């Protein structure tokens, strides 16, 4: 008998979605500590072998839950391809800051995985698109730093402000959306010689700035 395929290769089913929704609900309610194999199975009304058959292990479920970071912004712009580099960069910022406001448990989860040396495919792909956007801006001659360094600086600022917003609920320093927007403008000025206007993209629009999150 052939072994079960990893969850990433399995087609989504009603059971798969039920487990995913259970994990998402627990994460929103109690943060990462609430998402255990026992609690997920109890909420989804499945057995542990079923959980592992669909996701491999809890890390598999965690990685899929992180895709929720990008859903709210993507749903606001259905069918749009952010081929404009400025639009893609602002979209990334909106995802980080918007997630910290709407679902801080996801930020905790991302930080937990990063601390463990695990970077889910969704985040790898997202960061790769960010680097491509900065490479495009580099070719336009508007960057103050090499594209990879500029992308790393922007990513660090977005991840850092998102973490600060998320941890405020645990007694950390308060951080407003205004502070996040001010930091975005500051880091943009630090990596770009000028703020380029989004290029025309055959009718496709760039996503909104984080002030509209």
79-91 pLDDT tens trace: 445 568 888 888 8
Which domains are seen in the chain, by residue range?
A: 7-56 (1.10.10.60), 69-212 (1.10.357)
Alpha-carbon distance of 213 to 198, in angstroms, equals 19
Alpha-carbon distance of 93 to 212, in angstroms, equals 11
101-156 pLDDT tens trace: 888 888 888 878 777 777 777 778 778 889 999 999 999 999 999 999 999 999 99
Helix (H, G, I), strand (E, B) or coil at 192: strand
- 98 band by pLDDT with thresholds 50, 70 and 90: confident
Query: Nearest CA to 85 among 137, 11, 125?
Result: 137
| pLDDT at residue 197 tops 80 | no
Query: Nearest CA to 6 among 39, 54, 65?
Result: 54
| pLDDT at residue 213 tops 60 | no
Q: In this structure, are residues 194 and 142 in contact, taking their beta carbons and an 8 Å threshold?
A: yes
């Amino acid at each position: 008998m052939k072994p079960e395929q990893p969850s990433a290769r399995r087609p989504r089913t009603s059971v798969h979605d039920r487990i995913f929704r259970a994990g998402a609900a627990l994460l929103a309610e109690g943060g990462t500590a609430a998402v255990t194999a026992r609690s997920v199975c109890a909420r989804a009304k499945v057995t542990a072998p079923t959980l592992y058959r669909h996701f491999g292990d809890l890390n598999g479920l965690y990685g899929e839950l992180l895709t929720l970071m990008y859903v709210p912004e993507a749903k606001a712009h259905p069918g749009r391809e952010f081929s404009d580099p400025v639009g893609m960069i602002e979209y990334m910022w909106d995802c980080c800051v918007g997630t910290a406001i709407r679902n801080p448990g996801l930020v905790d989860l991302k930080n937990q995985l990063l601390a463990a040396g695990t970077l889910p495919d969704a985040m790898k792909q997202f960061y790769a698109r960010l680097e491509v956007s900065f490479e495009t801006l580099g070719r336009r001659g508007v960057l103050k730093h090499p594209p990879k360094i500029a992308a790393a600086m922007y990513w660090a600022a977005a991840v850092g402000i998102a973490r600060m917003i998320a941890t405020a609920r645990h007694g950390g320093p308060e951080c407003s959306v205004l502070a996040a927007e001010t930091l975005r403008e500051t880091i943009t000025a630090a990596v770009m010689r000028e703020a380029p206007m989004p290029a025309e993209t055959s009718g496709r629009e760039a996503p909104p700035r984080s002030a509209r999150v």
